[in-house]
Chains A and B, each alone.
Chain A
Amino acid sequence: MLNTVHNKHPLLIIEDSDEDFEITCWALAKANLHCPIERSSKAEEVLLSLSARASQVDCEPPLPKLILLDLNLPSMGGRQFLEKLKLIEHIPIIPVVVLSTSNNPRDIEKAYRLGAQGYICKPLSLEVYVKKMQALVNYWFDAVEVPNNHQMFSPNTQSR
Chain B
Amino acid sequence: MTQTKSSDSSESSSPPLFVNAENVTLSNCDLEQVHLVNAIQPHGVLLILEEPHLRIVQASANCKDFLGIGTEFLIGKTLDILLSHEDILVLCDHLAKANLLNTHSHLISIKHSLHNKQPLHLFGNRINDLLLLEFEQVDPLPPIEILSVFSDIRESLKSLQCAESFQFFLDKLASEMRKLTGFDRVMIYRFAEDKSGEVVAEAKATDLEPYLGLHFPASDIPEPARRLFALSALRHLPNVDYVPVPLVSDPNILHPTRVDLSYSFLRSVSVMYSEYLRNMGVKASMVMPLFKQGKLWGLISCLHSSVRYLPYEQRIPAEFLAQLSSTLLTDRENIDQLGYHTKLHYSTQKLTSQLQNCVSITEALAFRDEALLSTLNADGAAIIVDGQLTLLGKTPTGKQIEKLAKWIAQRETSVFSSHQLATEFPDAQEYQQTASGLLAIRLGFTSKDQILWFRSEVSKTVNWAGDPHKPVEINLENCEVRLRPRTSFAIWKETVLGQSLPWLSTEIDYAHRLRQIIADILIEHARLLSKVNAELQRSNSELDSFAYAASHDLKEPLRGIHNFLELLELEEKEHLSELGEKRIKTVLSLSEHMSFLLDSLLQYSRIGKNELLLQAYSTRNMATQAIELIKQSHPDPNIEFILSPNLPIVLCDQMLVSSILQNLLINAIKYNEQTIKRVEIGCDTSLIPPVFYVRDNGIGIAPDNYAYIFQLFRRLHLRNQYGGGTGAGLTIAKRAIERLNGTIWVESELGKGSTFYFTLTPESSKNVEHCA
Contacts and interface: CB of A to CB of B under 8 A. Distances in A.
Interface in A99-120: 101-106
B595 A20 contact: no
Given A19-B564, A124-B592, A124-B595, A104 B606 contact: yes
A126 B560 CA distance: 10
A72 interface: yes
A125 B552 CA distance: 17
B560 A17 contact: yes
Nearest to A24: B563
A127 B552 CA distance: 22
B156 to A, nearest CB: 94
Nearest to A106: B610
Contacts of A26: 567
A124 B596 CA distance: 10
B610 A126 contact: no
Interface in B586-626: 591-592, 595, 599, 602, 606, 610
Contact of B552 (A17, A19, A102, A123): A102
A20 B566 contact: no
B602 A72 contact: no
A124 B591 contact: yes
B448 interface: no
A122 B559 contact: yes
B556 A124 contact: no
Interface in A67-119: 72, 101-106
B555 A101 contact: yes
A26 B606 CA distance: 32
A104 to B, nearest CB: 6
Nearest to A19: B560
A106 B654 CA distance: 12
Nearest to B561: A19
Nearest to B553: A72
A19 B567 CA distance: 12
B735 interface: no
A101 B552 contact: yes
Nearest to B563: A23
A6 to B, nearest CB: 26
Nearest to B562: A124
B559 A104 contact: no
Contacts of B555: 101
B243 interface: no
Interface residues of A, number: 19
Nearest to B548: A104
Interface in B77-119: none
Interface string B538-557: 00000000000000100110
B606 A125 contact: no
Nearest to B659: A105
A72 to B, nearest CB: 7
A103 B655 CA distance: 14
Contact of B560 (A23, A104, A123): A23
Most buried by A among B559, B560, B595, B655: B559
A125 B566 contact: yes
Interface residues of B, number: 20
B570 interface: yes
Nearest to B557: A19
Interface in B507-564: 552, 555-556, 558-560, 562-564
Contacts of A123: 559
Contacts of B562: 124-125
A26 B591 CA distance: 21
A155 B492 CA distance: 130
Given A19-B560, A126-B567, A126-B570, A104 B592 contact: no
B567 A105 contact: no
B567 A17 contact: no
A22 to B, nearest CB: 9
B242 to A, nearest CB: 109
Given A124-B591, A126-B570, A104 B563 contact: no
A151 B655 CA distance: 44
B603 to A, nearest CB: 9
Nearest to B596: A124
Nearest to B566: A126
A122 B557 CA distance: 12
B567 A103 contact: no
Contacts of B602: 104
A124 B590 CA distance: 12
Contacts of A106: 606, 610, 655
Contacts of A101: 552, 555-556, 559
Contacts of B563: 19, 23, 124, 126, 129
Nearest to B610: A106
Contacts of A104: 602, 606
Given A26-B567, A104-B602, A126-B566, A20 B591 contact: no
A17 to B, nearest CB: 7
A101 B549 CA distance: 12
Contacts of A125: 562, 566
A102 B551 CA distance: 10
A121 to B, nearest CB: 10
B735 to A, nearest CB: 16
Contacts of A102: 552
A44 B101 CA distance: 109
Contacts of A126: 563, 566-567, 570
A41 B44 CA distance: 128
B712 to A, nearest CB: 19
A107 to B, nearest CB: 10
A7 B228 CA distance: 128
A15 to B, nearest CB: 11
Nearest to A23: B563
Contacts of B566: 125-127
B599 A103 contact: yes
A127 B566 CA distance: 9
B552 A20 contact: no
Contacts of A20: 556, 559-560
A97 B592 CA distance: 26
A129 B599 CA distance: 18
Interface in B143-189: none
B550 to A, nearest CB: 13
A41 to B, nearest CB: 14
B552 to A, nearest CB: 6
Contacts of A129: 563
A103 B566 CA distance: 22
Nearest to B592: A124
A20 B567 CA distance: 13
Contacts of B558: 124
Interface in B457-498: none
Contact of A105 (B552, B556, B570, B655): B655
10 contacts: A20-B559, A23-B567, A72-B552, A72-B556, A101-B552, A102-B552, A105-B655, A106-B610, A106-B655, A126-B563
Q: Which 4 A-B pairs have the closest CB atoms?
A: A126-B566, A19-B560, A23-B563, A101-B555
Given A17-B556, A125-B562, 11 more contacts: A20-B559, A26-B567, A103-B599, A104-B602, A106-B606, A122-B559, A124-B558, A124-B562, A124-B563, A124-B591, A126-B563
